[in-house]
Amino acid sequence: MNKLRNIAIIAHVDHGKTTLVDQLLKQCQVFRNNQIVRERFLDSNDLERERGITILAKNISINYKDYKINLIDTPGHSDFGGEVERVLKMADGVLLLVDSFEGPMPQTRFVLQKALDLNLKPIVVINKIDRPDNRPKEVLDEVYDLFIDLGADENQLEFPVIYASGRNGWAVKNLSDEKKDLTPLLDSIIKDIPPPPDNKGGVQIQITSLDYNDYVGRIGVGRVFRGTLKKSGNLSIIKRNGNIHKVEISQLFVFEGLNREEVDEVSCGDICAIVGIDDVDIGDTIADADNPEPLPIISIDEPTISMTFMVNNSPFYGKEGKFVTSRQLRDRLFKELEHNVALRVQETNSPDAYKVSGRGILHLSILIENMRREGYELQVREPKVIYKEIDGKKAEPIEVLTVDVPGELAGKVIEIVGQRRGQLMKMESKGNLTSLEFHIPSRGIMGLRTKVLTATSGEAVMHHQFYQYEFFKGAINRVRNGVMISMGEGPATAYAIDSLQDRGKFFIEPGEIVYAGQIVGEHSKENDIEVNVQRGKKLTNMRASGADKAIKIVPAIKFSLEEALEYIEEDEMVEVTPKSIRLRKIYLDSNERKRYNLGKASMPSN
């Protein structure tokens, strides 16, 4: 079936990928004329829409001339590397989208490397040409450099280039051409991306992503690599561990536009969804029962960070969430394993705690954020790096960190990252910004964002992603100031916060109800202190309460979930509920904290 094209779209976060897809859908009449379409249609998950990032891969198709183009949207963030690699297995080519000012970014590099390894044919789209600060020629040179850096062969280096404005819905082959619509891009997909090979023989399909529906259960999505998949066929499933058993398909769907259309058979090369196999997993092969041959197993990136998820036991337990027991927490984590392939969950000696490992803090914080939105309450310990042994030596994960910062502040950033064992690999100017690239141990990233943003008055833009394991880089002197801990329970008063402002910065607002042992701010010195934030003003006949109007309180620092996880130390936790993110000490009682600190001081340092 050479009228079929399978193409994955890869791009860095915020380079306009999902907006471009919106325009392709409109121009190929996927939407009805009277249909009201929200923007960034593909980012259907609330979290994706708020953060402007794609987390889960999506499948849609468009019809152009008499061709069917399966478009596979991929996550751009390396924490979802497990998703990216599997999704690319379904494609024959990739659309590499690059911002006409920013050029190739670290996450573009990560996904492109995977695409080139799989020998996929690229089309480069330089997007956002309508930006006033665009620099398409330099960006194209940077793209060539990137391909050469990644070891692209001659064939891959001869990629077609399209200039586009996704927002305005036009694409051209040359910047001097008339800017009408996206036809040049669609023509290039049909001309330059090879059709899927028509492999004859017994049917073979590999499941590359899973969906779930309360009515029909698990839905396996994958591409037919060989033969024709028939609903009534005699089929077996080959599991990752080599076990084989017979299966029956109850429904078979292909992607038509944004919908799934039920069919009786799917031809070689097309992407389909299968309903009716209860134990289907990612990486399984469904094949002819008479001659079941497995496809190569999909490799999945190993986790680099682990955290302990615990049942919420704070004084405010159960006030804001509806799922609060250890059984509910356990069920939810094990359910996540069904489709989140890069995740690991281990039980611990405590029935209330689970060790959860993932690809990075973002990967795990997305899971926590989804859980709190579903009504779960939980507590999370500080993230820990997962070490490995290589050739008998201790090795740790190293990340590529890029920081874009105004030129005059670059020196400050280099100094701060250097203190965390970060090595400067590259430094280049982009307009009035300087782009710095470092290799830094994952340990060094924890708490780095706050420090860099403070030093640059919020001007720095940071991205980091896993690079590789390297031998241990040595101790990092992680100096964070101490914290201010609430002595009592109850609403914080403006009077108390005002009188304590010279001691440090607060994380809470007046009127916020806190409990004893909760972290309410950062101390200006290195030691922790206990503070009374519930203290009210003593009123006598001499002092009228009206004098409070002069109080001026600095706005509280509000952490995002990732920032909170990067901020905490080993004797602290983040309490997460549907309505709140609170920082707390593990031991809420001050005497227990003293005993813990004495015990820690008497332990030999390693």
Is 9 marked as a binding-site residue? no
Mutual angle of helices 136-149 and 106-117, in 10-degree steps: 50
Please name the residues in contact with 366: beta carbons below 8 A apart, sequence gap of 6 or more.
Answer: 47, 55, 79
Mutual angle of helices 448-455 and 410-419, in 10-degree steps: 150
Is 127 marked as a binding-site residue? yes
Tell me the one-letter amino acid at 151: G
Is 19 marked as a binding-site residue? yes
Q: Both tokens of residue 75?
A: 């996550």
Q: Both tokens of residue 449?
A: 């964002």
Tell me the one-letter amino acid at 204: Q
Cα separations (Å) of 92 from 108, 110, 245, 584?
18, 18, 30, 50
Q: Is the dihedral of CA 157, 158, 160, 163 positive or negative?
A: positive
Q: What are phi and psi of 334, to 5 degrees?
A: -75, -30
Is 183 marked as a binding-site residue? no
Is 26 marked as a binding-site residue? no
CA angle at 303 for the pair 566 and 118, rounded to the nearest 5°:
125
Pairing of strands 121-127, 161-165: parallel
Is 17 marked as a binding-site residue? yes
Is 117 marked as a binding-site residue? no
Cα separations (Å) of 153 from 158, 159, 186, 190, 195?
9, 11, 25, 22, 20
3-state SS, residue 577? coil
Is 128 marked as a binding-site residue? yes
SS3 string of 160-225? CEEEEECCCCEEECCCCCCCCCCHHHHHHHHHHCCCCCCCCCCCEEEEEEEEEECCCEEEEEEEEE
Is 129 marked as a binding-site residue? yes
- Which pairs from 385-388 meet CB under 8 Å and 24+ separation? 385/304, 385/305, 385/441, 385/442, 385/443, 386/302, 386/303, 386/304, 386/305, 386/306, 386/357, 387/472, 388/469
Binding site as annotated, residues for GTP = 14-19, 127-130
Residues comprising the binding site? 14-19, 127-130
